[in-house]
């Protein structure tokens, strides 16, 4: 040791002066971009002083970037380094404004690593940590004495207020005035003491951080001043603070300690997780973020890795078969139902919400209803989407009274305050609310859905409180047909038995019908056997795993906002007009689900979602075509006999493989060509068998009577021919 020994942080070899200089350098010189005129924190400090605030937020990543050594010291010895930070800050403040007196506190946030709550261990004590979790309880505000003020009861003398350390008030034993010096005469004057707010908050692990088969861990947080009441129970937060263990004396007077410690985190900074980390970096993204999009799930990866992951997702989106691949990855354990899965995929991605200058807004969320026979794995699909959706809520229509499908008002048993407890729909704001057994839901609860599904809000008027809560949620519902099994002899509407007002709010209505087909049976059989005997052959099909899928969806929802191209718009319009015309088929009036302007909106949403799936910023013609197809398939439009509203079971296209579809389409083409060749409009009828013969002559492939009937029916629905019994007539 030479010269004046540097002051060291107790128990270490860290020099206070060194740290002091490092902090000064950092605060003065750190610039986000080298081109910036003034240091970032100088600017921020000026802002803080302008607003008369009492704390300055410092991004720990900036420190890491600027001076790694300082960062390491700060994390390991936060108490000492933060004290130095505060001193330096005061200096700077006084230099900026000589009369400045207020204390400005440093709040560090955004540490490099977030610790898992259950990984905290004794070696983290007295270190700076960052933990994510959900707040479960908040204590009432505790006034903590900061400065004590005494007055002598004998002579009235009061010494200047003295600071209080950790709640221990040092009561002077005798009066400080030499003339008086009365023993035990000093009394604490409460009104003139200075108090600070304090609050104890309990943080619990969020479900995604809990390993399977464990219960969630909790940790106590100590909040001071501004942080008090900054978060409410139920909030997901990321906090930065100092992990501390407190030894407890056995009794107030004894010298022995309890062998158990109480641990807590002295909270420095609190960030609600909903506003993702990206916000701090990129002001452009702020708008999207503040709109409360489910944030990109980052876990504890650094921006570099994050960038890498985004690149990976983008590479995925470039794959030509990404649409099919995603479809496959959705609920791989459920067989077939490909078109339904595609619809659900669109729902997950969602369309873009639009807000017009006039104030009118259009929802981007899609609602999907599945109606179908029991045992067609509807519930399983629901369960799966619920797991995948950013904020999925699963509820059964039957138990909705217990689950609380909407918000309701309760009295807090402790405080007697009237509280709004939000139900499933509000909880799934920006997510997907899955409702099973939709048909069993009481009319009352269902009527609430009207508002939710179009205006995306829930109004509650109870106990004198009228509140409108946001419920920007997609609804995924499934129901059984009215007769519990689909009755082919009844019309679609009669089978679904839901009020048309509600039906029209669903973008996609799927009829999930069971239909015989040997090909699908075979695949089903193979699938099931493999499921029971873990055959690797089938599982090797290319699909994305769940985390990748979630990341893919989340990124798309956040960053891709496709716009309709003119050609796509044209296509959608003509498709819509055609659909409208079909609905107006004479005599069909109330028997089929007719297209309304809502369907046009649906089409736009679906095509936007399809573009999103490709990470494309423009809705192309192919998207429009697929959207039209999806809508059509969903309603089994092509299979519906529009005059009676019933469905021809042979014509159902759900579950029909793509190759089969093209085969059918080409058959229809062939028949159409043949008819236009051989027959004259309004001419004589042609026998069915005759036509079959002709066709068989032309085509080499096998052709059954059934196939022909199918083709003719679809031609009939287009209005090209009329088809009665055995005779065909061209119109």
CA distance 625 to 59: 48
Radius of gyration of the chain (CA): 34
Nearest to 691 by CA among 673, 718, 714: 673
How near is the Cβ of 159 to another protein at its closest, in Å? 23
Q: Is 72 in the site for another protein (CB under 8 A)?
A: no
Q: Is 261 in the site for another protein (CB under 8 A)?
A: yes
How near is the Cβ of 112 to another protein at its closest, in Å? 23
**The token pair that represents 124 in the structure block:** 């983290």
CA distance 129 to 117: 10
Contact (Cβ atoms closer than 8 angstroms) between residue 654 and residue 519: no
Q: Is 263 in the site for another protein (CB under 8 A)?
A: yes
**How do strand 392-396 and strand 432-436 relate by DSSP bridges?**
parallel
Q: Is 333 in the site for another protein (CB under 8 A)?
A: yes
Residue 676's alpha-carbon distances to 219, 280, 665, 703, 708, in angstroms, are 78, 66, 16, 20, 16
CA distance 437 to 82: 56
Contact (Cβ atoms closer than 8 angstroms) between residue 721 and residue 680: no
Cα angle: 486, vertex 487, 492; to 5 degrees: 80
Q: Is 693 in the site for another protein (CB under 8 A)?
A: no
Spell out a b/e string for 629-649, using b for 16 or more CB atoms within 10 Å of the CB, else e: bbbbbbbbbbbbbbeebbbbe
Contact (Cβ atoms closer than 8 angstroms) between residue 421 and residue 410: yes
**How do strand 354-355 and strand 55-59 relate by DSSP bridges?**
unpaired
- Within residues 441-470, the interface with another protein by CB under 8 A covers none
- Cβ nearer to another protein, comparing 97 with 522: 522
How near is the Cβ of 260 to another protein at its closest, in Å? 5
Of 56-64, 87-95, 203-211, 286-294, the window that binds another protein (rule: CB under 8 A) is 203-211
- Cβ nearer to another protein, comparing 184 with 401: 401
Of 297-305, 392-400, 548-556, 694-702, the window that binds another protein (rule: CB under 8 A) is 392-400
- Cβ nearer to another protein, comparing 122 with 416: 122
Using CB under 8 A, which of 18, 197, 298, 514 touches another protein? 514
Alpha helices in 507-565 (DSSP H): 518-533, 536-539, 546-559
CA distance 448 to 168: 56
Which residues are within 8 A (CB) of 146 and not within 5 positions of it... i.e. 6 or more apart? 163, 164, 193, 194, 195, 196
User: Which stretch of DSSP H or E encloses residue 129?
Assistant: strand 128-138
- Cβ nearer to another protein, comparing 534 with 702: 534
Using CB under 8 A, which of 21, 57, 279, 383 touches another protein? 383
CA distance 15 to 70: 12
Using CB under 8 A, which of 532, 586, 680, 701 touches another protein? 532
Q: Is 493 in the site for another protein (CB under 8 A)?
A: no
The answer for 692, left when phi > 0, alpha when psi is -120 to 50, beta otherwise, is: alpha
Cα angle: 680, vertex 682, 687; to 5 degrees: 75
Of 108-116, 394-402, 458-466, 721-729, the window that binds another protein (rule: CB under 8 A) is 394-402
- Cβ nearer to another protein, comparing 430 with 614: 430
How near is the Cβ of 373 to another protein at its closest, in Å? 9
- Within residues 264-323, the interface with another protein by CB under 8 A covers 264
- Cβ nearer to another protein, comparing 146 with 672: 146
Contact code string over 235-254 relative to another protein, x by CB under 8 A: ----------xxxxxxxx-x
The answer for 691, left when phi > 0, alpha when psi is -120 to 50, beta otherwise, is: alpha
Q: Is 534 in the site for another protein (CB under 8 A)?
A: yes
- Cβ nearer to another protein, comparing 33 with 166: 166
Q: Is 706 in the site for another protein (CB under 8 A)?
A: no
Residue 575's alpha-carbon distances to 136, 401, 618, in angstroms, are 51, 41, 19
- Cβ nearer to another protein, comparing 207 with 416: 207
Contact code string over 211-240 relative to another protein, x by CB under 8 A: -xxxxxxxxx------------xx------
**The token pair that represents 326 in the structure block:** 């995603």
How near is the Cβ of 461 to another protein at its closest, in Å? 23
How near is the Cβ of 193 to another protein at its closest, in Å? 15
Which residues are within 8 A (CB) of 714 and not within 5 positions of it... i.e. 6 or more apart? 638, 651, 668
How near is the Cβ of 134 to another protein at its closest, in Å? 6
Using CB under 8 A, which of 258, 272, 314, 590 touches another protein? 258
The sheet with strand 721-724 has its strands ordered as: 686-687, 727-730, 721-724
Site residue total, another protein (CB under 8 A): 77
Contact code string over 159-188 relative to another protein, x by CB under 8 A: --------x---------------------
- Within residues 569-598, the interface with another protein by CB under 8 A covers none
How near is the Cβ of 268 to another protein at its closest, in Å? 18
Q: Is 20 in the site for another protein (CB under 8 A)?
A: no
User: Which stretch of DSSP H or E encloses residue 369?
Assistant: strand 368-372
Of 17-25, 349-357, 517-525, 563-571, the window that binds another protein (rule: CB under 8 A) is 517-525
Q: Is 524 in the site for another protein (CB under 8 A)?
A: yes
The span from the first CA to the last CA of the chain, in angstroms, equals 108
Which residues are within 8 A (CB) of 574 and not within 5 positions of it... i.e. 6 or more apart? none
- Cβ nearer to another protein, comparing 293 with 384: 384
- Within residues 471-490, the interface with another protein by CB under 8 A covers none
CA pseudo-torsion sign 315, 318, 322, 323: positive
Q: Is 555 in the site for another protein (CB under 8 A)?
A: no
How near is the Cβ of 80 to another protein at its closest, in Å? 15
- Within residues 100-159, the interface with another protein by CB under 8 A covers 118, 120-123, 125, 134, 136-137, 139, 142
Q: Is 66 in the site for another protein (CB under 8 A)?
A: no
Q: Is 536 in the site for another protein (CB under 8 A)?
A: no
Contact code string over 402-441 relative to another protein, x by CB under 8 A: x---------------------------------------
- Cβ nearer to another protein, comparing 213 with 586: 213
């Amino acid at each position: 040791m030479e010269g004046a020994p540097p002051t060291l942080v107790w128990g270490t070899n860290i020099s206070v002066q060194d740290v002091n200089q490092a902090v000064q350098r950092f605060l003065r010189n750190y610039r986000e971009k080298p081109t910036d005129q003034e240091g970032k924190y100088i600017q921020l400090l000026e802002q803080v002083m302008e607003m008369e605030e009492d704390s300055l937020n410092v991004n720990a990543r900036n420190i890491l970037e600027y001076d790694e050594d300082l960062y390491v010291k700060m994390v390991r010895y936060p108490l000492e380094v933060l004290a130095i930070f505060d001193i330096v800050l005061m200096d700077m403040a006084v230099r900026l404004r000589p009369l400045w007196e207020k204390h400005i506190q440093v709040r560090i946030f955004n540490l490099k690593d977030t610790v898992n709550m259950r990984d905290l261990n004794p070696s983290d004590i007295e270190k700076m940590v960052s933990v994510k979790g959900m707040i479960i309880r908040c204590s009432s505000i505790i006034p903590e004495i900061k400065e004590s003020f005494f007055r002598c009861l004998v002579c009235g003398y009061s010494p200047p207020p003295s600071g209080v350390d950790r709640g221990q008030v040092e009561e002077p034993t005798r009066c400080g005035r030499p003339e008086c010096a009365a023993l035990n005469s000093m009394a604490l004057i409460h009104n003139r003491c200075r108090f600070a707010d304090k609050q104890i908050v309990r943080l619990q692990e969020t479900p995604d951080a809990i390993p399977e088969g464990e219960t969630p861990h909790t940790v106590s947080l100590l909040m001071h001043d501004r942080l008090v009441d900054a978060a409410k129970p139920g909030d997901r937060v990321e906090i930065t603070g100092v992990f501390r263990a407190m030894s407890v004396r056995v009794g107030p007077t004894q010298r022995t300690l309890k062998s158990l410690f109480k641990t807590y985190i002295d909270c420095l900074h609190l960030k609600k997780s909903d506003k993702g980390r990206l916000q701090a970096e990129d002001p452009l993204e702020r708008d999207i973020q503040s709109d409360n999009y489910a944030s990109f799930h980052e876990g504890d990866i650094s921006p570099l890795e994050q960038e890498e992951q985004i690149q990976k997702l983008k590479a995925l989106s470039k794959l030509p078969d990404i649409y099919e691949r995603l479809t496959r990855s959705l609920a791989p354990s459920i067989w077939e139902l490909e078109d339904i899965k595609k619809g659900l995929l669109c729902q997950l991605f969602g369309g873009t919400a639009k807000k017009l200058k006039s104030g009118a807004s259009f929802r981007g969320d899609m609602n999907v209803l599945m109606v179908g026979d029991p045992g067609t794995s509807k519930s399983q699909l629901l369960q799966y989407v619920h797991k995948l959706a950013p904020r999925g809520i699963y509820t059964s229509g039957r138990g909705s009274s217990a689950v609380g499908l909407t918000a309701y008002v309760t009295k807090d048993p402790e405080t007697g305050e009237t509280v709004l407890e939000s139900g499933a729909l509000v909880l799934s704001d920006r997510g997907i609310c899955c409702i099973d057994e939709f048909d069993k839901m009481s009319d009352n609860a269902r009527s609430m859905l009207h508002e939710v599904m179009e205006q995306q809000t829930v109004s509650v008027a109870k106990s004198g409180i009228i509140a409108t809560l946001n419920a920007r949620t997609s609804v995924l519902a499934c129901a059984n047909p009215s007769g519990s099994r689909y009755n082919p002899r009844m019309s679609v509407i009669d089978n679904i038995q839901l009020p048309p007002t509600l039906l029209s709010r669903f973008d996609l209505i799927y009829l999930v019908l069971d239909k015989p087909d040997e090909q699908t049976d075979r695949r089903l059989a193979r699938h099931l056997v493999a499921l029971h005997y873990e055959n690797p052959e089938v599982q090797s099909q290319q699909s994305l795993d769940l985390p990748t899928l979630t990341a893919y969806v989340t990124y798309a929802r956040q960053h891709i906002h496709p716009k309709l191209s003119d050609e796509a718009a044209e296509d959608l319009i003509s498709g819509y007009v055609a659909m409208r015309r079909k609905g107006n088929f004479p005599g069909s009036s109330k028997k089929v689900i007719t297209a309304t302007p809502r369907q046009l909106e649906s089409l736009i949403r679906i095509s936007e979602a399809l573009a999103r799936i490709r990470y494309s910023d423009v809705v192309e013609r192919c998207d429009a075509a697929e959207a039209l197809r999806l809508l059509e398939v969903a309603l089994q439009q092509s299979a519906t006999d529009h005059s009676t509203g019933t469905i021809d079971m042979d014509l159902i296209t759900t579950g029909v493989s793509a190759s089969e579809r093209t085969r059918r389409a080409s058959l229809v083409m062939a028949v159409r060509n043949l008819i236009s060749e051989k027959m004259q409009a309004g001419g004589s009828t042609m026998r069915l068998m005759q036509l079959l013969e002709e066709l068989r002559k032309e085509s080499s492939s096998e052709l059954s009577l059934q196939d022909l009937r199918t083709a003719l029916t679809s031609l009939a629905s287009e209005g090209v021919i009329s088809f009665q019994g055995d005779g065909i007539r061209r119109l």
